[in-house]
Amino acid sequence: MSITILGIESSCDDTSAAVIKDGYLFSNIISGQKVHENYGGVVPELASRAHQQHIVPVVYQAFEESGINKESVDAVAFTRGPGLLGSLMVGSSFAKAFAVARDIPIIGVNHLQAHILAHFIRNPNKPEEEIPEFPFLCLLVSGGHTQLVKVNSYFDMQIIGQTIDDAAGEAFDKTGKIMGLPYPAGPVIDKYAKQGNPQAFKFTKPKIEGLNYSFSGLKTAILYFLRDKVKQDTDFIKNNFNDLCASIQHTIIQILMEKLILAAEQTGIKEVAIAGGVSANSEMKKKLQQEADQRNWKVHIPQLQYTMDNAGMIAITGYYKYQKQSFDSLNVVPEARFKY
């Protein structure tokens, strides 16, 4: 039996809709929100309003691009959480309305599980593309989360390490803000780091036991370091911009990689994946590949459109939940702090 899923993602500042048929992605429309750029982070109320504006056009575009009509959809999968409540409500209300109009089930999806299951999205033009084999390790690094996950099967995921304060994406965004960069700073730091020296400045790494992470100390260390340097030379940031970007990025990626290596050693797993917005980082991808070559890992690095927040990952999770007939009732509510 053929299964077609409409996916809706609206947990933060991207409005997205995707159509997946039998595990193959036919469209994945992502509409970002520029309104937050000057605020150093996402402003929840502005995000909810922008989702309201974008959701219908984004869904129409997803159908148009997929070549699949809305009458063929078997279920609507939407992000139930975690995320910003107002933003989640836009997506969940849309999903319910669509499902009622078509008399089809709804499927609430955990956004973090979806980031991981994005690895199982198949491309109709490249059906031979490899997908991870269970069990695998996934380093999930986004603007809101940093987790090391042992993925035993589609819905059996064990969090074996996580950040005790800031997420890795926040470490990029908050240090970027200190340097005067717009939100999100991660991609900008990545771009300028390419022309800088990663050894130019040294920042102490946190000493956290086991597989957990911490990034708030690094952010504070960078804040004080720059404050002192700018006192001596007001143009310090401008004159050392590329080196600062390279050194900050290098430190964050080193912190991420050390615990990932430890997790692989402790579990004995050699199948390793990355997921979430920060996995788009060029040094992250390079370091992961280097470690893989040295340690005989098989690595899975997702395409950019699947690492950032997107509805393709929601739709693929919905596809696997549909197979288990795991549906939600129409009075289900979004959860800002949704655990899996």
**Do residues 11 and 87 touch, judged by C-beta distance below 8 A?**
yes
Question: Which residues, 242 to 281, sit near ligand KG4 by CB under 6 A?
Answer: 276-278, 280-281
- Please, which of residues 99-128 interact with ligand KG4 by CB under 6 A? none
Q: What is the largest CA-CA distance in the chain?
A: 69
State the binding string over 169-198 for ligand KG4 (x if CB under 6 A, else -).
x--xx----------xxxx--x--------
Query: In whole angstroms, what is the distance from residue 201 CA to residue 192 CA?
Result: 15
Nearer to ligand KG4, 4 or 243 (CB): 243
User: Which partner in Zn ion, ligand KG4, none is near 18 (CB below 5 to 8 A by kind)?
Assistant: none
Task: State yes or no: residue 81 binds ligand KG4 (CB under 6 A).
Answer: no
Instruction: Please select the residue that binds Zn ion; options are 142, 175, 247, 251, rule is CB under 5 A.
Output: 142
CA 189-244-173 angle, 5° bins: 40
Identify the CA nearest to 103 among candidates 334, 318, 327.
327
Closest CA to 171 of 137, 221, 212: 221
Partner interacting with residue 184 (select from Zn ion, ligand KG4, none; CB below 5-8 Å by kind) = ligand KG4
The answer to whether 279 contacts Zn ion (rule: CB under 5 A) is no
Please count the residues of this chain forming the interface with ligand KG4, following the rule CB under 6 A: 19
Of 43-51, 92-100, 138-146, 263-271: span binding ligand KG4 (CB under 6 A): 138-146
- Amino acid identity at 42: V
Q: Which residues contact 332 (CB under 8 A, 6 or more apart)?
A: 80, 92, 106, 108
Q: How many CB atoms lie within 10 A of CB 200?
A: 14
Candidate residues 181, 309, 315, 328; the one interacting with ligand KG4 per rule CB under 6 A: 309
With CB under 5 to 8 Å by kind, the binding choice for 166 among ligand KG4, Zn ion, none is none
Q: Which residue in 288, 263, 8, 302 sits closest to 130, CA to CA? A: 302
Q: With CB cut-offs between 5 and 8 Å by kind, which of ligand KG4, Zn ion, none does residue 7 bind?
A: none
Q: Cα–Cα distance between 38 and 35 in angstroms, integer? A: 7
State how far the alpha carbon of 310 is from the alpha carbons of 11, 113, 134, in Å: 10, 13, 23
User: Rounded to 5 degrees, what angle do the CA atoms 83, 277, 43 make?
Assistant: 40
| Smallest separation (angstroms) from ligand KG4 to the CB of 264 | 22
Cα-based distances in Å from 228 to 194, 221, 291: 25, 11, 36
**Measured from the CB of residue 247, what is the shortest distance to ligand KG4 in angstroms?**
14
Which window, 71-79, 138-146, 203-211, 285-293, contacts Zn ion (CB under 5 A)? 138-146
Nearer to ligand KG4, 260 or 280 (CB): 280
Residue among 9, 166, 243, 309 that touches Zn ion (CB under 5 A): 309
Tell the smallest beta-carbon distance from residue 112 to ligand KG4 (Å): 8
Closer residue to ligand KG4, CB minimum distance, 185 or 211: 185
C-beta closer to ligand KG4: residue 70 or 205: 205
Helix ranges (DSSP H) in 181-240: 186-193, 216-232, 236-239
The binding site for ligand KG4 (CB under 6 A) comprises 12, 142-144, 169, 172-173, 184-187, 190, 276-278, 280-281, 308-309
- Binding stretches for Zn ion (CB under 5 A): 142, 309
